[in-house]
Structure 1
Amino acid sequence: MDEPSNQQRAIELLQQLGLKEYEAKSFVALARRAEGTAKDISETSEVPRTRVYDAIRVLESKGLVETQHSNPQVFRAVSIDEAVSTLQSEYVGRTETLRDALGGLEPSDDGRTTEATHEVWAIEGDQGITSRTEQLIAGATEEVVLVIGHGSIFTDRLAEQLQTAHERGVSVVVGTVDEDLEAEIQRALPEVEVFVSGLEWLRGSPLAGDDTEISRLVLVDREAILVSSFTETAEADRTHEQGVFGRGFDNGLVAIVRRLMATGLPVEDDPEEGGVAG
């Protein structure tokens, strides 16, 4: 990625983390040099000079910029590591405050709840689906069966979560679509049972006009299921992940997928009798 692209990406990310446009541009301009005056920052960032001072005051209050009170004043950005750590702490603080605020909301549905046996929801986007996968694994008490249909799903973070679940006594079984991915996962999780799944329908059937690629199947404690797939987007070489989530042992979606998954496991058991896998 060239420098202009890096610069624009940095500005966009800083704005996503709470900085306004001129603040983000001013910080990036300072990050590119050892130090600079308001004039230097304005010339580098294209922020009007009269607005640079306002932006710097905000950045200074956030601990992102230091000021030398000379004539003219000179500014410098803190180190990249310090800036990232500072923004991360602020972001975490805001999310915790958001958690408290949302948790304190009064319910507006008169206490009505959805019965678990009828709980089926659609989920869009890899971030949301990844987050739900993490929540399911973190909440597992007995068993996690995960079938990975695409190598990009298996990340270091997912491996860490599966290992943590295994260490707290949860039975973890991971299925893959090919031997290469099986070997990669087994190296990362040597104490976890890993196998090549016999679920041929994970790959779809192009000859039959079905090129849908199942990206992940997650079954937790035999009562919660997440199934997702990749679909092509208009943008070249990009895919969009979408899925469905169901909960409840008597849920039809859970029951059907649980039995389908059992056909691809190395040890087949009747889920009604004693679990999905031994």
Structure 2
Amino acid sequence: MNDADAADALTELGLSAYAARTFVGLQKIGVASAGEVAQVTEVPRSQVYGATDELEELGLIDVQDGSPTRYRAVPVDEARDLLYDRLRSTTDEAFDHLETVRGQHAPSDDREAIWTTEGRENVAARITSLVADAERQVLFATSVPALLNGDVADALVEAANDGVGVTVASADAAVREAAVEAGLSAVDVEDAAPELSVGRVLLVDGDTVLLSVQPTEEMPTVADESAFWSEGTGFARVLAAVIRQAFVSE
């Protein structure tokens, strides 16, 4: 990482471009006037004053009045803590507001919604979220060991520990073994639809369903794991009944 990369990273933490470059320059110089900062950072001298005002307001520099005024950056650890705290505070405020406004103008015809999620990490995050909402039963099925790990496995174990009935169904012995080692119930099933390259199947409480597919040569339009899911809908309840019949022998 060079100075420009460091300045770019600081802008991601909320600094303006000129303030970020000025702060990097002051860390290198130690104590400097606006003119000296401009020489080292190539920030126009007329912009250094606004940048230092911003940095001073954030507590990232000390200012020594005089002729000329001189500036000194606070230690790196102190700056890191200040920026992290500011970012956390701003993030918390933003998401607190989102919680208050969520659903205020939701359409009334959303009851039969079917949603899609693209990308393995995003599919895993959706599965984790749906499992966390489970109250009675969870059925998770896959024949790909790599798709039962990390956050998904942790979410299934946590649900089981909370008293939810969790079953892992798979035609793959490694998947079933991993489930049993994690303390989960596992059942052996035939691969339900190998020609479709089913990635993961999730059934939660009989009214929430997620089904993902993986890319294959026969499915060139699928670039990454892709899933559709539905929660609390008539469609989900019908599909849930079909899935349970296919994967679990009552």
Q: Which residue of 1 aligns with 2:126?
A: 132
CA distance in 1, matches of 2:170, 2:22: 47
Which structure's CA Rg is the greater one? 2
Does residue 228 of structure 1 match 2:212? yes
CA distance in 1, matches of 2:110, 2:91: 33
SS in 2 for 1:164: helix
Q: Which residue of 2 aligns with 1:89?
A: 89
CA distance in 2, matches of 1:167, 1:221: 16
Please tell me whether the aligned partners of residues 170 and 191 of structure 2 are also in contact (alpha carbons under 8 angstroms).
Answer: no
User: Which residue type is aligned with residue 97 of structure 1?
Assistant: H
Alignment match of 1:263 (pick from 225, 246, 249): 246
CA distance in 2, matches of 1:136, 1:77: 44
Instruction: Note closer, same or farther for the CA distance 1:114–1:68 as it changes in structure 2 (3 Å cut).
Output: closer
TM-score by length of 2: 0.68
Please tell me whether the aligned partners of residues 219 and 258 of structure 1 are also in contact (alpha carbons under 8 angstroms).
Answer: no
Q: Percent identity?
A: 20
Alignment match of 1:11 (pick from 2, 8, 12): 8
Q: How many angstroms does 1:138 deviate by? A: 1.9
Q: How many angstroms does 1:225 deviate by? A: 0.6
Gap regions ≥5 residues in structure 2? 217-221
Please tell me whether the aligned partners of residues 30 and 77 of structure 1 are also in contact (alpha carbons under 8 angstroms).
Answer: no
Moved over 6 A (4+): none
CA distance in 2, matches of 1:41, 1:179: 64
Please tell me whether the aligned partners of residues 207 and 240 of structure 2 are also in contact (alpha carbons under 8 angstroms).
Answer: no
Q: How many angstroms does 1:224 deviate by? A: 0.6
Instruction: Note closer, same or farther for the CA distance 1:151–1:108 as it changes in structure 2 (3 Å cut).
Output: closer
Instruction: Note closer, same or farther for the CA distance 1:150–1:108 as it changes in structure 2 (3 Å cut).
Output: closer
User: Which residue type is aligned with residue 224 of structure 1?
Assistant: T
Aligned residues: 239
Please tell me whether the aligned partners of residues 142 and 171 of structure 1 are also in contact (alpha carbons under 8 angstroms).
Answer: yes
Alignment match of 1:240 (pick from 206, 224, 246): 224
RMSD: 4.2
Instruction: Note closer, same or farther for the CA distance 1:72–1:81 as it changes in structure 2 (3 Å cut).
Output: closer
Instruction: Note closer, same or farther for the CA distance 1:86–1:77 as it changes in structure 2 (3 Å cut).
Output: farther
TM-score by length of 1: 0.63
Alignment of 1:1-278 (within 5 A): 3=1, 8=5, 11=8, 14-15=11-12, 18-25=14-21, 29=24, 35=30, 37=32, 47-62=43-58, 65-67=60-62, 69=64, 72-76=70-74, 78-79=76-77, 82=81, 83-100=83-100, 102-103=101-102, 105=104, 107=105, 109=107, 112-115=108-111, 118-126=112-120, 128-148=122-142, 150=144, 153-154=147-148, 156-175=150-169, 178-180=172-174, 182-184=176-178, 187=181, 190-194=182-186, 198-199=190-191, 201=193, 204-205=194-195, 213-231=197-215, 239-248=223-232, 250-251=234-235, 254-256=237-239, 258-260=241-243, 262-265=245-248, 268-269=249-250
SS in 2 for 1:263: helix
CA distance in 2, matches of 1:45, 1:223: 59
